[in-house]
Amino acid sequence: VYQGVSMLMRLLKVDDVVDAFAVHGACGLWGLLALGFFGDPDEGLGGNGAFYGGDQMGIQIFAAFMILIWVAPLSIAIMLPLKLLGALRLSD
């Protein structure tokens, strides 16, 4: 997941020097959704994944959507003024 997203961001020329989105965003989303696929109810706290006949995936997708609703507006509220002020990048 990390390698694919990191390569895609370079291809799209997204300026993310430390691959923060690839590590925290994409891999975090995969971790959230993986429980919906692989959660084994026999393991206790492991969930109720789709591969075991469960319905955990809907809950995991809802959680990802709620995280997006929380993070996107807050990120825009912080990053847009910084961008307009020219404070996001240091000069060379």
- Average pLDDT on 43-59 reads 86
Alpha-helix residue ranges (DSSP H) falling in 1-92 = 2-11, 20, 27-38, 56-85
pLDDT at 92: 64
Determine the angle formed by the axes of helices 27-38 and 56-85, rounding to 10 degrees. Answer: 170
| Alpha-carbon 64 to chain mean position | 8
- Which residue's structure tokens are 């959704």? 33
Q: What average pLDDT does range 18-36 have in this prediction?
A: 94
**pLDDT over 80 (residue 71):** yes
The pTM (predicted TM-score) of the whole model is 0.81
